[in-house]
A and B are shown apart, each in its own frame.
Chain A
């Protein structure tokens, strides 16, 4: 178990900078996720932690000790690969015991630890099977058990759920979360799925173009994205440009020449951008007059408990999620809709 520090880590392939000067602190026992679109450098970062890629600059420390010069087989990381990389010629038992045998652990202890970890991932009784006789979810558990049984300093997971179907993915991520907490092991988890990242992580680092965009708890990165990229990557949102001042009394600024009230600290340099999540925009009743605007429904999707509207308003299209509240009828495309948002909801984002 160890904390991880990355200090100005750089990785280039030729002239292409894949990881651009990243510094991070990951606490002991934390489940830390690297999140970003493909090509953002998250997998390269993970492979540098495992030792499969050498950084061109910067340092990696496990528990305060630099490991950049440690070869991968001596680095004591447990890695779960995207395709699991189970050894097809070995049984489940032999797969899990592989790392222990490589360490010349006595046979009795190897058996004991292997059986114990297989029980922990609910695979007791499967020892003698071969990987191809297991389902995707079971193979995933074997990969996890194999990485954990060597009691690594850190656990590394490279998109471990991407080969599973949607339902299993949800079950497995809860399972991974449970096991990770049970073992209290420092974990770096790579994914491109923001929902998965939010569900599983203690903290998330969002990467784009090899650069760190934001680090924070799932709530922080969802509710308080620092920039446009994070705002859009973490979920559907509407970005509005605000020009400070306005002709209505007490108004904070103008959006598309209409006055709006914002109950927040606003940046000094005008104009600025605010972000709204789809459920922060609500249908306006007759009693609402602040931050009220109207639009035309272009598309409406009924999803049971909620209704998604694609609305044309304030000179753009925006998504608005409203609770269906047992209403049988929703607005049809072409109908007018009156909307508003509370002055406390929006957040300011950097461009």
Chain B
């Protein structure tokens, strides 16, 4: 039986649905429609899709996208699964620190990672030059292998987090039982432990695949001539000479279909196979012989180092003397930071203003939507949930293209205003807030609220006085995640920003493009610090990692 919504909740429900329709469903249908029309005549055609497969250039983009994402998925699994087992099942020195550091790459901007690898192993990277002086010619990092490297190092935490959560959700008795039935330790691992966490491995791998295929910055920066869908859709859209809106539409749609299909696979196949149980006693954390302990520790430490060192390189580069693409390592200079902070602070102010605005709007919206989804159930809530989570399968550049194309004419023109950036951020990142908040809300019993209403407080006031305070940790955690990921957002910003509303991410991207690694690193360093500081505070005051929110 469904409880009838009280009046004011009905209004909130309909408004939320309207917002999601206007800024998600309608724009997406606009570009989907464009993909089905002939660019010149405006007739219905499937030609744009057949072009994706028929024209070698587009076909290559599709293939490259799939190949690069597949490789990133494979390598993330290969390095992430051992990392999860080592840090959750065995007594390692600094295991907690390794786990915390191991989740950080998720939150650090991928395109800055790509920049750092260029700084190290690009044509004039310092590692490349160091070896060149010794007469050794290193192959360039530019190309698909560079892209896969950056993705692997930044996305393996998805695999690590999902797998270690799965390990901890399996009761100790399962392995003991296998052992009791006569299985050797290796057999226990092969026949019980591994199969039970396999769904988590698959889920983590699929996330890595989706994150990789929709990533715009990394292949653009470090891919060289290796073109992928997310990048090409953007090029088709902005290209003033012979730009093709239908082609941008079909490339975008193909991208959305792929991520949507994988998300369905995850939802209806992997999730059904998941064996999470309410663990009474999580598995025992075992001590290994010293040699193995150090080997496992070395592996984890090396991985964390490889994933985080690039960001340290950017921090160093930001205080290094530069002229154009030439970096004078060892020569300290504040010129770039000064330039960024004093001479051209506008992008910094923009970044903070836009992300704060979008976060505040998103937190309030997310709070209301979580409540409706968790408490009201039934078909309307399900529809709202679907619409809310839809942006998760839409690549940032595609979302940007959809919004820009939809609102550049007609009764409401938003393209070319700062508001469209806020809308894009809000739409793309509110799902994070909804996830953290509804997870918490699910644990709060309905009767608490009913008690308040029973005592004569109106439903909305009861919500504010009783429910919101208990949701607060989730709202704040979700808000911080939103804020830092928006600061680091590049793919939809690059489509939607105009002149004065350039952000730090756009600046970094453009400076890298023009080879000015000094200013790029200065903005990059500021961005890294702005992302890490709130997370550090979150960890400090709420005592929990960022992991549950991702």
Chain A: residues with CB nearer than 8 A to chain B? 50-52, 72-79, 81-83, 85, 87-90, 98-99, 102-103, 146-147, 150
A50 in contact with B191 (CB, 8 Å): no
Residues of B within 8 A of A99 (CB): 181-183
Of B176, B182, B280, the residue contacting A102 (CB under 8 A) is: B182
Given A72-B179, A73-B179, A98-B191, answer yes or no on A87-B174 (Cβ-Cβ < 8 Å): yes
Q: Find A88's partner among B181, B191, B275 (CB 8 Å cutoff).
A: B275
Q: Nearest Cβ distance between residue B337 and chain A, in whole angstroms?
A: 53
Nearest CB in chain A: distance from B385 CB, A: 25
- In the docked arrangement, what's the CA distance between A147 and B180, Å? 9
Residue-wise, chain B 52-72 has the 8 Å CB interface mask toward A (1 for contact) of 000000000000000000000
Taking CB atoms, residues of chain A closer than 8 Å to B183 are 73, 98-99, 102
Residues of chain B within 8 A of A103, CB atoms compared: 182
Count of A-B residue pairs with CB < 8 Å? 74
Q: Is the CB of B275 within 8 A of A150?
A: no
- Contact string against A for B residues 151-187, beta-carbon threshold 8 Å, 1 for contact and 0 otherwise: 0000000000000000000010110111111111101
Residue positions of B touching A, CB distance < 8 A? 171, 173-174, 176-185, 187-188, 191-192, 195-196, 198, 275, 277, 280
CB-contact partner of B180 in A77, A88, A89, under 8 A: A77
Q: Which residue of A lies closest to B278 (CB)?
A: A83
How far is A73 from B183 in the complex, measured between Cα atoms in Å? 6
A88-B176 contact given A102-B181, A146-B181, CB 8 Å threshold:
no
Beta-carbon contact of A79 and B182 below 8 Å: no
Which residues of chain A come closer than 8 Å to B180, judged between CB atoms?
Answer: 50-52, 72-73, 75, 77-79, 147
**Nearest chain B CB to A207 CB, angstrom units:** 21
Q: Which residue of B lies closest to A98 (CB)?
A: B181
List of A residues within 8 angstroms of B192 by Cβ: 87
For A87, list chain B residues within 8 Å (CB): 174, 177-178, 192, 195-196
Residues of A near B185 (CB, < 8 A) are 73
**Minimal Cβ-Cβ distance residue in A for B183:** A102
User: What are 5 inter-chain pairs, A to B, with CB distance below 8 A?
Assistant: A73-B188, A78-B180, A85-B173, A89-B196, A146-B177
Q: Which residues does chain B contribute within 8 Å of A74, judged by CB atoms?
A: 182
Contact B171 A85 (CB under 8 A): yes
Chain A residues lying within 8 Å of B188, measured Cβ to Cβ, are 73
Are B176 and A85 within 8 A (Cβ)?
Answer: yes
* The 6 A-B residue pairs with the shortest CB-CB distance in the complex, in nearest-first order: A99-B181, A85-B173, A85-B177, A88-B275, A102-B183, A81-B173
Residue of A with least CB distance to B181: A99
CB distance from A95 to the nearest CB of B (A): 9
| CB-based nearest A residue for B196 | A89
User: Other than the known A72-B179, A72-B180, A146-B177, what 18 A-B pairs have Cβ atoms closer than 8 Å?
Assistant: A50-B180, A72-B176, A73-B180, A81-B177, A82-B280, A83-B171, A87-B177, A87-B195, A88-B277, A89-B195, A98-B181, A98-B183, A98-B191, A99-B183, A102-B178, A102-B187, A147-B180, A150-B182
Complex-state Cα separation, A146 to B178, whole angstroms: 10
Residues in A whose Cβ lies below 8 Å from that of B187: 102
With a cutoff of 8 Å between Cβ atoms, the chain B residues found around residue A72 in the complex are 176, 179-180
Q: Which of A79, A85, A150 makes the CB contact (< 8 A) with B174? A: A85
